[in-house]
Amino acid sequence: MIPNPLALIAEVTHRCPLHCVYCSNPLRLVATDAELSTEEWVRVFREASRLGVLHLHLTGGEPAARADLKDLIAGGRQAGLYTNLITSGLGLSESRLGGLVEAGLDHIQLSFQDSRDKPAKWIAGANGHAYKIALARKIRQLPVAFTVNLVVHRQNLDHIDEMIEFIEQLQPQRMELAHTQYYGWALKNRDTLLPTPQQLENCLRAVEKAQLRLSGKVRIDSVVPDYYARYPKACMGGWGRRLVLIDPSGQALPCHAAGVIPDMRFDNIREHPMEWIWRESAAFQRFRGEQWMPEPCKSCDRRTEDFGGCRCQALLLTGDASATDPVCSLSPNHHLIETVRSAAESDVAQASWSYRTNMG
């Protein structure tokens, strides 16, 4: 029996005014003229809700790049979904923001690149820091839940305390200190982004201290980065178990990065109903359950907790998408992670980034 999905990640566009060096979008982006229409998205939201989905995450690219964002939010909310907007804030004027909340937006997650203007610009390859700060104040005046997200890595972890205080002043209900995940653009820039063990330890201590201090005021979510964990994460809550991602052109993926796995065939929401995709699509079945598992996963007690870890990471690091996630200390390929980790302890030359590109 396949459980119903709980969340729909709707990548409504790959257009974005920023060029973040750790962008989670695929290296090959979907062009604007291939994007789903408003009506197609709203149909997807209704089908998702009927299938049991509770949360809708509108993301991108920058979802505000879509002129119909308000209609998408209204469509999600009318379908009965808890509607979350994941945004850089760029493209959201005060009046537009008010309209989105009126349309039924439940939660807004505003992303920052740093607490300081100059490094924020350096990471994003664009201006926007001051605008985001001004926007945060406006969000606080609206009846909508507010999370601030900040991606942390080697280049900013030395001022983690300052970043936590910076977020606190923006007065969100929740802060997310997200360690960079090494797929797509971030993998290209991994040597410059992966923190040192010392930085990571300081970060854990800073987060713990802040959690105590802000208890009941601001909830802080922060997960240990993969490369420093003993066991892999249950990526996406397990392949095809909790989440569906629809990309701008309507392709249904089990996760953000699944497109990197060779021989995967993704079905399109333009051709199949959501329920068929969830139950029948080959891409969702490929690593569902335990049949595909190699040793040491197959006989491991943790297989029902982490489901063998991340398939995309296994592919990117070992060349085999069916391998145990090398992040796992039990993986025969774990030395790959150890090598990268020990390289992180030595100094790296100053960053020369691969900035995320945009389509014309």
Instruction: Name the residue among 329, 280, 278, 336 with its Cα closest to residue 306.
Output: 329
Applying CB under 8 A, does 133 fall inside the site for another protein?
no
Q: How far is residue 286 from each of residues 52, 238, 275, measured CA to CA in Å?
A: 22, 12, 17
| CA pair distance 360, 357, nearest whole angstrom | 10
Other beta carbons within 10 Å of 325: 28
We find the least distance from the C-beta atom of residue 223 to another protein, in angstroms, to be 12
Subset of residues 40 to 69 that bind another protein, contact rule: CB under 8 A: 49, 52, 54-55
Subset of residues 174 to 193 that bind another protein, contact rule: CB under 8 A: 174
Token look-up 């971030």 returns 186
Q: Of the listed pieces 212-220, 227-235, 257-265, 307-315, which binds another protein according to CB under 8 A?
A: 212-220
Number of residues that bind another protein (CB under 8 A): 23
Q: x/- string (CB under 8 A) for another protein, residues 143-172?
A: xxxxx-------------------------
Applying CB under 8 A, does 173 fall inside the site for another protein?
yes
Residue environment code for 49-78, b if the CB has 16+ CB neighbours within 10 A, otherwise e? bebebebbbbbbbbbbbbeebbebbbbbbe
| CA pair distance 11, 185, nearest whole angstrom | 17
Task: Return the bridge partners of 82, or none.
Answer: 55
We find the least distance from the C-beta atom of residue 244 to another protein, in angstroms, to be 16
Q: Of these, 127, 215, 329, 339, which contacts another protein (CB under 8 A)? A: 215
Half-sphere exposure of residue 248: CA atoms within 13 angstroms, side-chain side:
22
We find the least distance from the C-beta atom of residue 241 to another protein, in angstroms, to be 16
Q: Of these, 118, 216, 347, 349, which contacts another protein (CB under 8 A)? A: 216
Q: Of the listed pieces 28-36, 192-200, 209-217, 322-330, which binds another protein according to CB under 8 A?
A: 209-217
Please say which residue, 84 or 87, places its beta carbon nearer to another protein: 84
| CA pair distance 128, 234, nearest whole angstrom | 34
Subset of residues 311 to 330 that bind another protein, contact rule: CB under 8 A: none
Cβ-contact 90, 41 below 8 angstroms: no
Q: Of the listed pieces 26-34, 95-103, 214-222, 338-346, which binds another protein according to CB under 8 A?
A: 214-222
Binding footprint of another protein on the chain (CB under 8 A): 6, 49, 52, 54-55, 80, 82, 84, 106-107, 109, 143-147, 173-174, 215-217, 219, 221
